[in-house]
Structures are given as structure tokens and as C-alpha cells.
Structure 1
Amino acid sequence: MNFRKLAGRLALIAGSGFVLGGHAFAAPGDPTHGGEGGRVVRVTTLAKDGPGSLAAALATKGKRVIVFEVGGVIDLERSVLEMTEPYATIAGQTAPSPGITIVRGGIDLKSHDVILSHLRIMTGVDGQPKLSGWEADAFSTVAAHNVVVEHCSFFWAIDENMSASGPRFTGNSVDEWRKGTSHDIVFRENIAAEGLADASHPKGEHSKGTLVHDNATNITFYRNLWAHNMERSPLVKGGAQVLMINNMIYDPGHRAVHYNLMNLEWAGHDYVTGEITAVGNLMRAGNSTAPGLPFLTLGGDGDLAFYGKDNKAVDRWGNPEAMFGRYGVTNARLIEKDRPMASLDGYDILPADRLETSLLSTVGARPWDRAPDDIRVLFFVAEGRGEILDDEKVVGGYPHPAETRAPFVEKDWDMKTMTPRSGIYPGQKAGAQEKLTARDKAMRQ
């Protein structure tokens, strides 16, 4: 999906719902065109596998655009979809309302040249005993490259909600290490929320937002929301290179942004300095946030080169918090740079103190047709509510919308941008989108 064209056509105005012709949040050229120009592959069933399934579409060889003629929930039954075939555009915006939600699992992307848009993934503990070993990410790239992940909603992961991962060391040089793991990944306009803490992960507490694994490079986070994750919003590991522009971190628990090259993991290898360029980001404490939590913390042994401009960190009441702190007594250095280490050319960058309302209006899957849990989290952020969870049941558990069906009519879509020629998306709603109780609805009539 071409984000510039989409954003130029469509925006959410806070309090008034989805409208046409809003502010354009421009982004520079993406690292891939995905499956543009390929054949159309239709998802026609909510079954977790078999003919017409999303799993079958992901496994299809060749350049392809994956569209949906069905809406509802795909239950992975505590399994993970692995995508190994390249050159695909996965267009969740084409599904009839309420769109596509994946539950009881996640996606591991082990390929290249993929665009993933407008899916919801809600992993969940699914009643598994604590420490029992169920440890799925909601979404992760695994040694993938040339990937765009945009307008998705990732909830209730047992490991990370959305990550760029892969092997730490492949080959005999830093260049080979970096080629052998995830690189050239863009995360844009996503929600990564409510990673589950005291759940089934074998390591114990594991409410995590995003991991950028060692030596992953050219990883970009633009206009994403992390909410109610204990740590990793994101965690940048040794030698990784990250660009963060106009992201919001709400209610981090013990750490927000942090960097850690661990000697225990790098033994026998020379350290590589990591890089973070961070501009116009906002961290706001919530009910689960440790008092005095800084925006960025440094752990481990390796050095971090850091460029920061117009980042803001505040407590629950809007009072300023520190920008930098440490965990661990080590020799790791914070090397402050006077210029960005990644290009900012082409980005439309808002000041941090103007970011929140803009971001909450547009992030997540299908902002014109929001799911109840997306609405709940966005309202919690706006109202300063919510907390880190141990179990999805605390907030109502998995959704169960009725299955819907509608044909995908190719002539009605711009197949380059994957936007409807009419300007009206499937399920597009007018006015404010709220999650109302029966009494709320009665009071508003």
C-alpha cells in the first residue's frame, strides 16, 4: 500500500470519525512494492488452513496480492503461521466488516518483499498454565528483509507484540551478520498493546512490546502506539540500527525505549555500537509505570550512539521525566550525536506535544471500522486508564463476531495503492466510534 496516497485521501478527526481529505503524513519511499502487479489471490474461508485460507494464500508462490472475501475471526488454535514465500501484498482493508482478526496464534514472517496491512492479531494465553511454554509473538520478522507492516493491531502476545528478529551471528563479519538477520523493515501506524505479563512464557513475566534483535538494521518505527507493555517499546539489541519518528509509548511498566548488548550473548565476538535516531516521540506514564521512568535506558556492555530531538517524557500528570537512565553497573556508553544517523528526508514530522491526538486518530487496523478492543485501548490511552494484563479474559477475552462475506471486485480498487476508487472502504462508518454499553446507547438516543 502506498502510504502517502492513502494518508492524503483519508484521515480520522478526533471525535468525528473517519472523513475524507485529512492531513497527509508523508513517508519516504518504502523498501518494497510487495506483490504489486501480481495475480490476485482470494481468501474465502476463516479456516486456519486448507483451500481458500490465509495460510494457503501466504504459501502461494509468486508475486501476488492477497485479498479477502470473508470477514471475521481466524482461529489458529495455538499455532503460528509461517510465511516463507516472498513478493506479497496482504490487504486486510479489502475484507468486509469487521475485517480479519487472528486469534490464538501469530505470524512469523521468514521472507522478503512483503506488505502487511490492516490485520488484527490477538494471541492470548488461552487458558494455558503459567510457565507452561506457550510463547508466541503476535507478529515477528525472522531474518526477513524489505517489509512494510502498516495499520495493524497486535494484542496479547506471550513474547513480543511486533518485532524484527533473526539470528544474532551468521557469517564472519559485521556485514554478514547484518545481512543474515532482519533488515529494511518499516513499522508504521500500528498498535502494539497489552503484552501479557504473568502468563505462559517459560521465562516468567513477559509483557513485551517490540524486540529489535542484535544486528538488525534499517528498522523504522513511524507513528506507532505502544500501550501497556512492561518493557521493550522497543528494546534495541546489540549493534542494531533503529529510526523512531512520532511514536507514542503509553503506560510502560519498567522500561520504555532501551538498549542492551549483553556480554552473555556476545561472548567471543567484538562488540558493535548500536544506533538509535529518535525524533518527536512521546512517552506518557500510566497506572503500571514505575515512578521516575526515563524515556531511554541503557543496559549491558555495548555502547549506544543516540541522536534525539524533540522527544518528550511525562508522568501521569504531565510533569517532565528524565530522558536517560541506566540499568546495570557497566561500562556501556551513551554516545550523543549532533546529527541524525538515519535520513529524515520526506517524513512529515509533528512536534511531540502535538502528536497524541493525531496518532490516536489513525493508528491500528481499519481506523474507519474499528474493533471494540482497539476502541477500548485508544480510549484508555486518551483518558489515562488501563494497565498491564496477565490474561486477555480480564478485558473480555477473544472476540466472536459473526462471519461476513462480500466479493472482491478488482475494478473497484486501485491495485497499486490498494485503495477503493470510490474513496469508501468496506465497513466505513460515519461519526465517532465508541464502545458503548446497552445503557450508554439508551442514554444517547
Structure 2
Amino acid sequence: MLALAAPHSAFAQAKDPTSGGDGGRIIRVTTLAKDGPGSLKAAIEAKGKRTVVFEVGGVIDLGRSVLEIDEPYLTIAGQTAPSPGITIVRGGIDLKGHDVKISHLRVMTGADGQPHLSNWEADAFSTVAAHNVVIEHCSFLWAIDENMSASGPRFTGKDVKEWRAGTSHDVLFRENLAAEGLANASHPKGEHSKGSLVHDNTTGIVFYRNVWAHNMERSPLVKGGAQVLMINNMIYDPGHRAVHYNLMNLEWAGHPYVTGEITAVGNVMRAGNSTVPGLPFLTLGGDGDLAWFSKDNINVDRWGNPAPMLGRYGVTKAKVIEAPQPLASLDGYRITPAATLETDLLSTVGARPWDRAPDDIRVLFFVAEGRGEIIDDEKLVGGYPHPAETRAAFVDKDWNLATMTPKSGVYPGQHAGAQEKLSERDKAMRQGGTQ
């Protein structure tokens, strides 16, 4: 069972890269329409420092479009929505601005019946040359490209410093669920079940206490010259690759190579039904070298037996350079020993852990039970959700607006005890009846 966890993150970094729109004006979302007055899109497009709250709960159907966030100094507080919270379907979010915080949203992209290789290829969430970003307690499912990425242009400017300034940097992913990237769906490249892409020359990319589940590759893929910190994440049922690094000569032709950096501490990888036997925790591809610091990371097969930590795909001169100390600061993080991480993490990760959606419960139970697999279409696991629309006023005085936490300590829709998705027969049996 998934026990009720602390409703909001108890694992905050000592200093997040941004405070978003905290302290700005409050904008209320009052409709589930994809655009127009009172919509999330209108709130995102507003200018100035702002915090977005919700007076409506349910599904926002983007109709195979993408929400683009360009305006900076924004906080989106999905925890304020009445139960069942906010779920975005048939689309995704591209974050192109800076100083943005997003909490407690669900994004379920899906193939939406589009033909194989037909060019519908949205991410569930990606930064696009964004910086100073916090993405926490969100659930990203059924992406056609990546579920949860930090991306942008590879070479903007004349040197490495300018390249890094011109793409995504200083992005924190904390307590998110990135699951069931669709494999053979509508992406024009074919198979594309991917967890997270960390694009070339991105820096300050932090993955802290996230779960990747049932993605064929990229949990995450770190590209050339990128700098990544991974602390207390879990990778379950990766298909052909889990963590991998690849600086591709085909993409870097004419540019000097830059050594990438990954610091990995207290992470767990566990094979599942879709995982190829003997899959390493980290695999190296491409031409560029990777500086690598690893401490207290675990990789096991489906039966708990130790599995390899390092491997490679590609016959090149690229090297893994073992670092004697972390390549990024660990200050300010609460670090759980890898051996005790799984139980601790599954109870807190994802959107609204006090009020979980059925698909989040399903995925997390499957992780705990060693079940599930990589899928090609959202219909294979029930398709898009259709909860009834709900409404409740957001009352400013009932919330600590500096932290976006309720003064009562009770979140909208908060449940006590374990959360399960039970059939009517199961419910009757738990109550001692028969059916």
C-alpha cells in the first residue's frame, strides 16, 4: 500500500534556483477550457510576478497542442485545486522563460489515436533554453518524446561559456514521476519511449528524489558537455538503457568536445519486465569523455541480484573518468541511503501524494510489486481520465502564500491512510461482504 506522506515536499533544497512568482499577484484559474478568460493558458501568458491558483479541478484537454511558458516570475500551485486536482491531457508544457516554479500538476500526453510515425511528438514537459526553474511533485505520463527534460540549443555563441548561458541551466526536478513514455506510437523516429533528455551543454541540472518507470531509454540521457547531479532517484523497468551519456560527433562536428559531468549519489535501479538482461546502471556512447562520481548507487535485476554499474554502446575512444569527489555540491540535500530509498520515495513522489490519481496509484503499485511494462498506447492502460469537474473558492487567508501551504495543514482532497485503487468487488471484500 502507498501510505500517506507529507503532503508537500519535506525534501526542499537549502537554496532553490528560484522563488518563481512568490510574492506577486494571485491569478485564479476558473475554467478547464484550454484557453480564454480564466484559463491556465491565460494565467501563464500574463505578465509580471504572479502565483497561479485553481478554483476548479479536473482535466484540461489541450487537443494536441502545447502550453508554452515565455513570461518569467511564475508559480503554478496545483496543490490549491479542489480534488482531483489538475490533469493536462493531449498535450504538454514547453517552458521557455525563467524563474518558474511548477508544483502538483499531472500531464498525460498520449498518442490520442494518431497513426504510427505521424509526427505528433510532444514532450510531457521540457525546458527550452530556460533557467532558474523548479519542477516538483508533478506526474508526467505517456509522452511521445520525453516525459521530463531540460533542453535547448546546442551551440549559442562563440565559446563554451556562451553555449551554456544560451541553453537550459539551473533546473531542479524534485519528487516527480516520469512514467510510461510511449514506445511505438506517433513519433516520426519510431520507437521513442524516453524518460528525460538533458541536452548538450546544459548545466546545473538536478534530479532529486524522482521516479522513472517503464521508459525504454533516457533515465536520463545526458548529452555532450552537460553537468548533472542525481540524488536519491529510482529507475524502474528501463528497457534498453537507463542512465547514459553520449556526445555525438555527428552533432558536434566542427566544435571542440567538452567533457560532461554526472554526480550520482544514493540512486536505485531495478530491472522490470521490459528490461534487457544485464543492463548497466550507466552506459557510455558517442565520442566524448564523461567525468563520473558515483557513491552508494544500487543496480539489481528482477530478483534482486547485483547487476553491472558500467557499460558502453559504441566502439570509440570515449572514456569514463572516475572522479574522487562530487563534481557538484551536495550541500543542503537530505540524502537517504540507497538501501532504504525505495519505500521512502514511493510514498512521496508525484503529484498530490495526499490525493493521488488512479494512474499514479497504478504505476507506483506496479513499481512496488515488480509489475508493469513499457507500452505503445495509453489505451492499453485505460486511456485518458474523465473525472467530473469540481469547484471550490481559493481563500487567500487560509494559505501561507510564501510557501503555498494551507495554514490548517490539510490540503484540498486530503485522504487519511493508504491509497489504493479498488474494484467494487475488492471494496466489498475489504468490508467483509461478498459480491
Residues 146-193 of structure 1 deviation map (CA, whole Å, 9 limit, x = unaligned): 000000000000000000000000000000000000000000000000
Alignment partner, residue 362 of structure 1? 348
Q: Percent identity?
A: 81
Alignment partner, residue 257 of structure 2? 271
Map 1:178-327 onto structure 2 (within 5 A).
Answer: 178-327=164-313
Alignment partner, residue 126 of structure 1? 112
- 1:112 equivalent to 2:98? Answer yes
Alignment partner, residue 67 of structure 1? 53
Alignment partner, residue 4 of structure 2? 17
Secondary structure class of the residue paired with 1:17: coil
Is the 1:152–1:191 contact (alpha carbons within 8 Å) kept by the matching residues of 2?
A: yes
2:26 alignment partner, one of 11, 32, 40:
40
- Distance in 2 (CA, whole Å) between partners of 1:24 and 1:44 is 29
- Tell me how many residue pairs correspond in the alignment: 431
Is the 1:18–1:428 contact (alpha carbons within 8 Å) kept by the matching residues of 2?
A: no
- Distance in 2 (CA, whole Å) between partners of 1:388 and 1:169 is 33
- 1:346 equivalent to 2:332? Answer yes
Secondary structure class of the residue paired with 1:362: coil
Partner amino acid, structure 1, of 2:199: H
Is the 1:18–1:431 contact (alpha carbons within 8 Å) kept by the matching residues of 2?
A: no
- Distance in 2 (CA, whole Å) between partners of 1:103 and 1:31 is 28
- 1:376 equivalent to 2:367? Answer no
- Cα deviation for residue 438 of structure 1 reads 1.2
Residues 249-273 of structure 1 deviation map (CA, whole Å, 9 limit, x = unaligned): 0000000000000000000000000
Residues 221-261 of structure 1 deviation map (CA, whole Å, 9 limit, x = unaligned): 00000000000000000000000000000000000000000
Is the 1:159–1:201 contact (alpha carbons within 8 Å) kept by the matching residues of 2?
A: yes
- 1:328 equivalent to 2:314? Answer yes
- Cα deviation for residue 23 of structure 1 reads 10
- 1:140 equivalent to 2:134? Answer no
Across the aligned residues of Structure 1 and Structure 2, the Cα RMSD in angstroms comes to 1.1
Q: Give ranges in structure 2 of 5+ residues lacking alignment.
A: none
Secondary structure class of the residue paired with 1:184: strand
Is the 1:224–1:363 contact (alpha carbons within 8 Å) kept by the matching residues of 2?
A: yes
Is the 1:18–1:430 contact (alpha carbons within 8 Å) kept by the matching residues of 2?
A: no
- Cα deviation for residue 27 of structure 1 reads 2.0
Partner amino acid, structure 2, of 1:78: R
- Cα deviation for residue 18 of structure 1 reads 4.2
- Distance in 2 (CA, whole Å) between partners of 1:167 and 1:26 is 29
Alignment partner, residue 439 of structure 1? 425
Residues 41-95 of structure 1 deviation map (CA, whole Å, 9 limit, x = unaligned): 0000000000000000000000000000000000000000111000010000000
- Cα deviation for residue 15 of structure 1 reads 4.7
- Distance in 2 (CA, whole Å) between partners of 1:346 and 1:214 is 27
Is the 2:2–2:420 contact (alpha carbons within 8 Å) kept by the matching residues of 1?
A: no
Is the 1:37–1:63 contact (alpha carbons within 8 Å) kept by the matching residues of 2?
A: yes
- Distance in 2 (CA, whole Å) between partners of 1:58 and 1:234 is 28
2:414 alignment partner, one of 397, 408, 428:
428
- Distance in 2 (CA, whole Å) between partners of 1:363 and 1:281 is 14
- 1:51 equivalent to 2:37? Answer yes
Change (3 A) 1:395 1:66: same
- Distance in 1 (CA, whole Å) between partners of 2:330 and 2:3 is 31
Secondary structure class of the residue paired with 2:63: strand
Alignment partner, residue 413 of structure 1? 399
- Distance in 1 (CA, whole Å) between partners of 2:12 and 2:61 is 35
- Cα deviation for residue 28 of structure 1 reads 1.9
- Cα deviation for residue 346 of structure 1 reads 1.3
Partner amino acid, structure 2, of 1:219: I
- Distance in 1 (CA, whole Å) between partners of 2:144 and 2:2 is 33
Is the 1:40–1:66 contact (alpha carbons within 8 Å) kept by the matching residues of 2?
A: yes
Partner amino acid, structure 2, of 1:369: D
Secondary structure class of the residue paired with 1:265: helix
TM-score normalised by the chain length of structure 1? 0.96
- Cα deviation for residue 442 of structure 1 reads 1.0
- Distance in 2 (CA, whole Å) between partners of 1:211 and 1:23 is 24
Q: Give ranges in structure 1 of 5+ residues lacking alignment.
A: 1-13
The 4+ residue runs of structure 1 with deviation greater than 4 A are: none
- Distance in 1 (CA, whole Å) between partners of 2:328 and 2:141 is 29
- Cα deviation for residue 26 of structure 1 reads 4.7
- Distance in 2 (CA, whole Å) between partners of 1:109 and 1:72 is 22
- Cα deviation for residue 24 of structure 1 reads 4.3
Secondary structure class of the residue paired with 2:171: strand
Secondary structure class of the residue paired with 1:325: strand
- Distance in 2 (CA, whole Å) between partners of 1:178 and 1:24 is 31
- 1:176 equivalent to 2:191? Answer no
Alignment partner, residue 7 of structure 1? none
TM-score normalised by the chain length of structure 2? 0.98
Partner amino acid, structure 2, of 1:422: S
Partner amino acid, structure 1, of 2:348: T
- Distance in 2 (CA, whole Å) between partners of 1:289 and 1:210 is 17
Change (3 A) 1:61 1:26: closer
- Distance in 2 (CA, whole Å) between partners of 1:44 and 1:19 is 27
- Distance in 1 (CA, whole Å) between partners of 2:284 and 2:426 is 46
- Cα deviation for residue 431 of structure 1 reads 1.5
- Distance in 1 (CA, whole Å) between partners of 2:34 and 2:226 is 34
- 1:94 equivalent to 2:68? Answer no
Alignment partner, residue 11 of structure 1? none
